[in-house]
Amino acid sequence: MKLTSYPEPQTGAFAFDEGNMGRVERILKRYPPERKASAILPLLDIAQRQNGGWLSKECIEYVADFLEIAPIRAWEVATFYTMLNLKPVGKHFIQVCRTTPCWLRGSDELTQACRKRLGVGKGEVTEDGLFSYIEVECLGACVNAPMVQINDDYYEDLTPDRLVEIIDRLENGEAVPIGSQTERQGSAPEGGPETLREMPWLKKGAPEEGDLPDYGPQDTEPAEARQEPTAGPADKEKTDTPDRAGPDAGPQSGSDALDDKEDK
């Protein structure tokens, strides 16, 4: 039952395709039926991907109708989150991070490089529909600033020249390595790690015997010798009584023995 009156959504031509409908159904299973509106973010994301990277009015209102909520509730979400685009984007959608660490490391120059190379302003799409770019706030890869996100991938440790080279290669349909463009290992300092250097498995995968540091003599006591004897019913009765120091009390733990010593 709908609790408020609202205009009928204009869902137009948009509808989840067969593949996405399967994804949507899997997502909806995470929520109780009466709380399915909580799935709005992943559903808007799916709609955006199916619609070429942006949400039209039809998409937003289709999702609202699908979740049986007022269209305004879907609009509230779609207009709040910056990762939901409300106008068309290029096939390669470049998001230039401009927050302080990236800005200090040259994000302004990256934005200028986009403008110069693509010949369009922020938020505009190139004539061939291949590229558009915007500026965004921190994308969480500050250690390798400056960086951009292109569709779902991060390109880090950028210079304007390297960004132009990446755009050229994407335009030609060539593969571009993602992540650090200076081959930095993770977020290690330039030139390689300066700590924890003696961990050869970092380079070749899982550690093997002999890779591990020598921690001195190992405990060679057989495993069975270290196991506590299993208490039988009679023993259990004794250990449950306060007087555990009797001759039949069985093995004592270290703290039990210490308690007994102090008693004497």
Residue 186 interacts with ligand FES (CB under 6 A)? no
Residue 99 interacts with ligand FES (CB under 6 A)? yes
The beta-strand segments (E) located in the chain are 92-97, 131-136, 148-150, 153-156, 179-180
Residue 147 interacts with ligand FES (CB under 6 A)? yes
Residue 96 interacts with ligand FES (CB under 6 A)? no
Residues 102-121 that bind ligand FES (CB under 6 A): 102
CA gap 113, 170 in Å, rounded: 15
Name the residue nearer to ligand FES (CB basis): 140 or 177: 140
Name the residue nearer to ligand FES (CB basis): 187 or 252: 187
Burial group, residue 23, by CB count within 10 angstroms (0-12, 13-18, 19+): middle
CA gap 86, 60 in Å, rounded: 10
Give the sign of the dihedral formed by CA 51, CA 55, CA 59, CA 63. positive
| Pick from 110, 85, 84: nearest CA to 97 | 110
Residue 178 interacts with ligand FES (CB under 6 A)? no
Residue 97 interacts with ligand FES (CB under 6 A)? yes
Residues 126-145 that bind ligand FES (CB under 6 A): 138-142, 145
Residues 3-22 that bind ligand FES (CB under 6 A): none
Name the residue nearer to ligand FES (CB basis): 81 or 201: 81
The string of DSSP letters for 95-107 reads EEE-SHHHHHTTH
Give the sign of the dihedral formed by CA 20, CA 23, CA 27, CA 28. positive
Q: State the nearest-atom distance from the C-beta of 100 to ligand FES, in Å.
A: 6
Name the residue nearer to ligand FES (CB basis): 55 or 141: 141
Q: State the nearest-atom distance from the C-beta of 122 to ligand FES, in Å.
A: 17
Name the residue nearer to ligand FES (CB basis): 125 or 145: 145
Cβ count within 10 A of residue 80: 8
Q: State the nearest-atom distance from the C-beta of 13 to ligand FES, in Å.
A: 37
Please list, residue by residue across 68-77, b when 16 or more beta carbons sit within 10 angstroms of its beta carbon and e when fewer do: ebbbebbbeb
Beta pairing class for 179-180 and 148-150: unpaired
Residue 101 interacts with ligand FES (CB under 6 A)? yes
The residue ranges that bind ligand FES (CB under 6 A) are 97, 99, 101-102, 138-142, 145, 147
